[in-house]
């Protein structure tokens, strides 16, 4: 009851809209999460999803003058919808000013590194310190300064435990709270890069094994009639990959003339 009363006091002349806001929060008032300095009691107010430094689902009140109740209701609806999308996104989203100070971010951007909002504040609230390698950070910043954006760049970020994780980073310029800022979209791709590295290692091992044993391998896709040779197959036949058309028919020209008819019959 006390929370509901405080909310009604804050919004004053729009109690009906206040009840709608509480319904969005499952009956919980946003006031306990609200710093007193953010409350303006000089006129009607609406709730605005805000990314203040501790990054939880805060709301704050802002005076908007003599707006109609209908407009206020629409503002509530719109702000909560976008706040929910921001918080619920499985992809990390953050906004920083041009000095690197983090103004807003969602939970997904913190989870791969094992951070809490309090950890970010303790680190100085600057995204620059989260790069694992300062050289990678400087490269990213130089690319953004040159091209005005960064697209699908893989960078390493620090984990809280001292390790690192691989992320795909996108940066685009935006206006936020009336100032030029940078929107960051960060996706943890550690598992994908580890799987790719494991695949490359396996392929290198197979290539080395075939080279030592002078054994080649190939596969034939019946649907496309396309053949793929291993590296050692090319070495054994003394040709470069560019000299092979990757079809079974082209392969038969490497078969001895005495055996060619049997091979052609077998693959027909």
Look at residue 151 in the predicted model and tell me its pLDDT. 95
Instruction: Check residues 176 and 12 and name the one with the higher pLDDT.
Output: 176
Least confident of 14-23, 39-48, 158-167, 237-246: 39-48
Nearest C-alpha neighbor of 163 from the set 132, 122, 127: 132
Alpha-carbon distance 114 to 213, whole Å?
A: 47
With a CB cutoff of 8 Å and minimum separation 6, the contacts of 79 are: 46, 47, 48, 49
Domain map of the chain by residue range?
2-88, 92-188, 207-267
Does pLDDT of 23 surpass 60?
Answer: no
pTM of the model: 0.56
pLDDT in tens, 95-137: 999 999 999 889 999 999 999 989 988 888 899 999 999 999 9
Instruction: Give the position of tokens 């290692």.
Output: 201
Alpha-carbon distance 59 to 30, whole Å?
A: 6
Please compute the mean of the pLDDT values over residues 217-243 and round it to a whole number.
Answer: 84
Let me know if the fold of 92-188 is the same as that of 207-267: yes
Options 3.30.365.10, 3.30.450.20, 3.50.50.60, 3.30.460.20; CATH for 207-267 is 3.30.450.20
Topology classification of domain 92-188: Beta-Lactamase (3.30.450)
Look at residue 153 in the predicted model and tell me its pLDDT. 95
Nearest C-alpha neighbor of 268 from the set 253, 249, 254: 249
Beta bridge partners of 158: 164
Question: Tokens for 203?
Answer: 């392929």
């Amino acid at each position: 009851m006390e929370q509901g009363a405080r909310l009604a006091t804050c919004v004053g002349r729009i109690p009906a809209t206040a009840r709608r806001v509480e319904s969005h929060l499952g009956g919980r008032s946003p006031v306990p999460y609200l710093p007193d300095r953010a409350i303006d009691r000089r006129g009607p107010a609406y709730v605005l999803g805000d990314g203040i430094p501790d990054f939880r689902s805060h709301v704050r009140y802002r005076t908007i003058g003599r707006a109609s109740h209908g407009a206020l209701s629409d503002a509530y609806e719109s702000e909560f919808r976008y706040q929910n999308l921001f918080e619920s996104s499985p992809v990390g989203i953050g906004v920083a000013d041009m000095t690197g100070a983090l103004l807003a971010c969602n939970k997904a951007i913190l989870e791969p590194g094992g951070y809490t909002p309090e950890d970010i504040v303790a680190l100085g609230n600057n995204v620059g310190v989260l790069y694992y390698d300062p050289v990678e950070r400087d490269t990213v910043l130089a690319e953004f300064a040159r091209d005005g954006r960064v697209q699908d760049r893989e960078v390493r970020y620090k984990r809280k435990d001292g390790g690192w994780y691989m992320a795909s980073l996108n940066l685009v310029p935006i206006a936020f709270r009336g100032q030029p800022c940078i929107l960051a979209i960060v996706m943890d791709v550690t598992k994908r890069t580890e799987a790719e590295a494991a695949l490359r290692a396996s392929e290198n091992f197979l290539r080395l094994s075939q080279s030592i044993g002078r054994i080649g391998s190939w596969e034939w896709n019946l649907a496309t009639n396309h053949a793929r040779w291993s590296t050692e197959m090319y070495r054994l036949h003394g040709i470069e990959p560019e000299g092979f058309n990757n079809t079974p028919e082209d392969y038969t020209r490497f078969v001895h003339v005495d055996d060619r008819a049997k091979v052609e019959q077998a693959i027909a």
